[in-house]
């Protein structure tokens, strides 16, 4: 047994001396995790990558040795930390050179496919952009949208530039398979997503109302879109419908409010108090409309609800004027006509209800009110086509002022003829007069315009009847 013991001792001594000789190497290996950790924490990613590569080789060769396994585990954790740190850097306000470095490291780590790397990059940059957007105070819609535009214009542009500097979008040399991931589409999709998000924010802020600053906002948005045309994302075409919608929405709301208010006032209106208005005491004279000027007929002051209605409508017009898309001509006209139609109906109802109590003077007054109802309509339509440069488009299709004026100018007198012989007090709405229609000059776009006007004018004609004999008498 001595021999055996001696052999054992000798071999263990040999092992120990070998260990002693290789002490430094072994120590180095054992210290790798610590070193790696230090590298990662201090941002020496270059060295960290080398260490990781070395450990990976070690793992491949000696995966069965528990000590190596332990080292590998620790290094693995450090690499994970490094990965997270790198991605975290992308989530900050990082400049292009730093971006290039980070992506370089990520590429060398070889943990993402190309598509994944792109997604990861855009996700991280997106997170940063969103953090900026989220920090914009949301109290005032105008302020919010302005700041959002600014942030997007600057930072989104930066991100796109960074992306393009980092990633190449050249078509891969190999023909991709049927289900290959289209890497450039990742970017396109992201830009589209961002633009859609911006449009959503714009829409919601506009819905909340930015008041009279719509035009300046439109300008800013258009500049924003134009600047994006440099990166191939000119989205101005998407802005137009948004602004059109908001404008017409605002206008419709204002008109509706005016109509409601008129209706309310009519309910509490009595003719007795009416003549106290300015109109009856001070005969107001209104000059002919000079070119470039528009004025409301003072006569309307005799009839306060109507005057008030007119004022409200005019206020709405003035708002619209600030940012008035030509495209809305038809919509504005239609909504105005609808409003006028409602107002006329209200007046007619009032007329019928109070008829018995009407004195001739009151009737006259009422009639006069109705006569003057049309000037606002005229103004309205004039405004609808106010952009006179439309005529430069030739017959591209605009609401022709003359065409609208004409029926209005003619209608009242023309209407008289068919109605005078008609039975008295016949409600006009039930028998829409077919006669005027052919007489009217066929306006190019007349269909929509014609119907409500007829109705209104019939009402007018009906009510005017008492005046007919009066005038002839």
Partner 1 sequence: MLHSQEKFYSMAAQIKLLLEIPEKIWSAMEASQYLHATQLYLLCCHLHSLLQLDASSSRYSPILARFPILVRQVAAASHFRSTILHESKSLLKCQAVSDQAVAEALCSIMLLEDSSPRQALADFLLARKSAVQQLLNQPHHGAGIKAHVCSLMELLTTTLYQAHALFYTLPEGMLSDPSLPCSLLFSMLETTTSQDPAGKGIHVLKEEMKLSSWFKSLPPSIVEFQPTLRTLAHPISQDYLRDTLQKWINMCSEDIKSGLITLLVYVKSLKGLAGIRDAVWELLTSESMRQNWDTVCRRLLDKSISFWEDLLRQLFLDRLQTLTKEGFDSISSSSKQLLILALQELEAKSSTSAPSKHTQFEHNMALFLWSESPGDLPPDAAWVSVANRSPFAKSGLSMKAQALTPCVQSFCSALDAKLKAKLDDLLFYLPADSSTPKETRGVQARNSAFDRYADAGTVEELLRDHCVACIQYVLGCAREELQKSCSGITVLPASSTSWAVLEKSCRALFMARLCQSLGELCPHLKQCILGKSGSTENGMRETRSSKKLGKGKAQEVNPMQAKWQEVKEQLLQQSLFAYQIWSSAVITVLVHRFTQTLLLDTAGSILATATNWDEIEIQEETESGSSVTSKIRLPVQPSWYVQCLLFSLCQEVNRVGGHALPKRTLQLLLKTCLAEVLAGYEKLVEEKQEKKGSFPMTQNRALQLLYDLRYLNIVLTAKSEEAKASRSKQDSRIEKVTDFLEANIDPFDLDVFTPHLNSGLNRLVQRTSVLFGLLTGAENQYTNRSNHLSSQEPHNILPLASSQIRFGLLPLSMSSSRKTKSAVKTTENPTQVPPPSVITAEETFRPGSLFRQLATEEGDTATPSLFKLGWLSSMTK
Q: What is the DSSP letter of 273?
A: T
Q: Which residues, at least 6 apart from 199, have a Cβ–Cβ distance to it below 8 Å?
A: 235, 238, 239, 242
- What span, in angstroms and rounded, lies between the C-alpha atoms of 215 and 200? 18
Per rule CB under 8 A, is residue 398 in the interface with partner 1?
Answer: yes
Contact 119, 183 (CB under 8 A): no
The token pair that represents 156 in the structure block: 């989104």
Q: What is the DSSP letter of 113?
A: -
**Cα-based distances in Å from 433 to 378, 419, 430, 440:** 22, 9, 9, 12
The token pair that represents 93 in the structure block: 């306000």
Minimal distance, residue 176 CB to partner 1, in Å: 8
Question: Which of residues 326, 401, 422, 433 is near partner 1 by CB under 8 A?
Answer: 326
Per rule CB under 8 A, is residue 352 in the interface with partner 1?
Answer: no
Piece of the chain touching partner 1 by CB under 8 A; list 2-10, 12-20, 254-262, 342-350:
254-262
Site for partner 1 in 449-468 (CB under 8 A): 467-468
Per rule CB under 8 A, is residue 245 in the interface with partner 1?
Answer: no
Alpha helices for 136-272 (secondary structure H): 141-151, 157-166, 183-208, 214-228, 236-267
Contact 109, 85 (CB under 8 A): no
Site for partner 1 in 150-209 (CB under 8 A): 160, 164, 169-171, 176, 178-179, 181-193, 195-196, 209
| Look-up of token digits 């470039």 | 292
Minimal distance, residue 164 CB to partner 1, in Å: 8
Question: Which of residues 217, 299, 336, 404 is near partner 1 by CB under 8 A?
Answer: 299
Q: 3-class DSSP state for residue 38? A: helix
Task: Specify burial of residue 262 (Cβ count, 10 A radius: 0-12, 13-18, 19+).
Answer: buried
As a dihedral over the C-alpha atoms of residue 70, residue 75, residue 80, residue 85, rounded to 10 degrees, the angle is: 140
Instruction: Give 24 or 288: the residue with its C-beta nearer to partner 1.
Output: 288
- What span, in angstroms and rounded, lies between the C-alpha atoms of 201 and 27? 60
- What span, in angstroms and rounded, lies between the C-alpha atoms of 425 and 428? 8
Instruction: Give 4 or 179: the residue with its C-beta nearer to partner 1.
Output: 179
Piece of the chain touching partner 1 by CB under 8 A; list 27-35, 213-221, 337-345, 432-440:
213-221
Instruction: Give 8 or 46: the residue with its C-beta nearer to partner 1.
Output: 46
Question: Number of residues in contact with partner 1, rule: CB under 8 A?
Answer: 148
Instruction: Give 94 or 300: the residue with its C-beta nearer to partner 1.
Output: 300
Per rule CB under 8 A, is residue 473 in the interface with partner 1?
Answer: no
Minimal distance, residue 212 CB to partner 1, in Å: 6
- What span, in angstroms and rounded, lies between the C-alpha atoms of 149 and 195? 11
Minimal distance, residue 276 CB to partner 1, in Å: 11
Going by C-alpha positions, the residue among 115, 60, 64, 106 that lies closest to residue 84 is 106
The total number of residues written for the chain in this structure: 473
Contact 440, 326 (CB under 8 A): no
Site for partner 1 in 219-238 (CB under 8 A): 219, 222-223, 225-227, 229-238
State the sign of the Cα–Cα–Cα–Cα dihedral 466, 470, 471, 473.
Answer: positive
Site for partner 1 in 255-284 (CB under 8 A): 257, 260-261, 264-265, 268, 278, 282-284
Instruction: Give 28 or 260: the residue with its C-beta nearer to partner 1.
Output: 260
Per rule CB under 8 A, is residue 321 in the interface with partner 1?
Answer: yes
Instruction: Give 26 or 364: the residue with its C-beta nearer to partner 1.
Output: 364
Minimal distance, residue 188 CB to partner 1, in Å: 3
The token pair that represents 269 in the structure block: 């209106």
Minimal distance, residue 350 CB to partner 1, in Å: 15
Per rule CB under 8 A, is residue 102 in the interface with partner 1?
Answer: no
Site for partner 1 in 108-147 (CB under 8 A): 109-113, 115-116, 119-120, 122-123, 126-127
Instruction: Give 26 or 406: the residue with its C-beta nearer to partner 1.
Output: 406
Question: Which of residues 58, 136, 294, 422 is near partner 1 by CB under 8 A?
Answer: 294
Site for partner 1 in 6-45 (CB under 8 A): none
Piece of the chain touching partner 1 by CB under 8 A; list 10-18, 132-140, 397-405, 423-431:
397-405
Minimal distance, residue 284 CB to partner 1, in Å: 7
Per rule CB under 8 A, is residue 58 in the interface with partner 1?
Answer: no
Contact 464, 370 (CB under 8 A): yes
Per rule CB under 8 A, is residue 408 in the interface with partner 1?
Answer: no
Per rule CB under 8 A, is residue 240 in the interface with partner 1?
Answer: yes
Q: Which residues, at least 6 apart from 26, have a Cβ–Cβ distance to it below 8 Å?
A: 19
Instruction: Give 22 or 241: the residue with its C-beta nearer to partner 1.
Output: 241
Q: Which residues, at least 6 apart from 249, have a Cβ–Cβ distance to it below 8 Å?
A: 207
Question: Which of residues 211, 427, 441, 469 is near partner 1 by CB under 8 A?
Answer: 211
Per rule CB under 8 A, is residue 302 in the interface with partner 1?
Answer: no
């Amino acid at each position: 047994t001595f021999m055996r013991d001696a052999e054992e001792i000798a071999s263990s001594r040999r092992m120990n001396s070998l260990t002693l000789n290789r002490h430094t190497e072994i120590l180095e290996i054992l210290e790798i995790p610590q070193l790696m950790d230090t590298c990662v924490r201090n941002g020496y990613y270059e060295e960290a990558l080398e260490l990781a590569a070395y450990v990976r080789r070690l793992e491949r060769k000696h995966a069965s040795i528990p000590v190596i396994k332990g080292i590998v585990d620790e290094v693995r954790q450090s690499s994970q930390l490094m990965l997270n740190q790198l991605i975290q850097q992308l989530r900050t306000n990082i400049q292009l050179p730093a971006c290039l470095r980070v992506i370089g490291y990520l590429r060398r780590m070889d943990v993402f496919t190309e598509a994944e790397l792109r997604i990861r990059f855009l996700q991280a940059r997106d997170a940063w952009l969103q953090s900026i957007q989220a920090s914009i105070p949301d109290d005032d819609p105008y302020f919010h949208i302005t700041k959002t535009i600014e942030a997007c214009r600057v930072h989104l542009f930066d991100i796109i530039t960074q992306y393009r500097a980092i990633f190449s979008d050249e078509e891969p040399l190999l023909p991709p398979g049927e289900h290959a991931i289209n890497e450039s589409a990742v970017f396109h999709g992201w830009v589209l997503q961002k633009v859609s998000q911006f449009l959503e924010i714009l829409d919601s802020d506009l819905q909340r109302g930015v008041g009279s600053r719509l035009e300046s906002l439109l300008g800013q948005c258009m500049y924003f879109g134009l600047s994006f045309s440099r990166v191939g994302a000119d989205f101005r075409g998407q802005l137009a419908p948004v602004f059109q919608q908001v404008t017409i929405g605002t206008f419709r709301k204002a008109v509706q409010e005016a109509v409601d208010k008129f209706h309310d006032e009519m309910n509490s209106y009595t003719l007795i108090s009416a003549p106290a208005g300015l109109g009856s005491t001070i005969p107001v004279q209104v000059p002919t409309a000079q070119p470039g000027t528009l004025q409301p007929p003072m006569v309307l002051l005799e009839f306060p609800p109507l005057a008030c209605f007119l004022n409200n409508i005019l206020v709405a017009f003035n708002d619209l004027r600030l940012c008035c898309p030509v495209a809305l001509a038809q919509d504005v006209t239609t909504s105005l006509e609808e409003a006028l139609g409602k107002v006329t109906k209200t007046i007619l109802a009032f007329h019928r209800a109070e008829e018995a109590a009407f004195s001739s003077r009151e009737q006259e007054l009422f009639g006069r009110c109705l006569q003057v109802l049309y000037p606002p309509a005229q103004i309205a339509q004039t405004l609808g086509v106010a952009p006179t440069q439309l005529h430069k488009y030739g017959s591209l299709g605009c609401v022709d002022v003359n065409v609208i004026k004409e029926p209005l100018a003619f209608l009242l007198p023309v209407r008289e003829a068919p109605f005078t012989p008609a039975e008295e007090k016949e409600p006009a709405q039930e028998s829409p007069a077919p006669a005027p229609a052919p007489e009217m000059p066929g306006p190019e776009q007349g269909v929509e315009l014609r119907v409500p006007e007829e109705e209104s004018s019939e009402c007018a004609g009906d009510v005017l009847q008492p005046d007919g004999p009066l005038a002839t008498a």
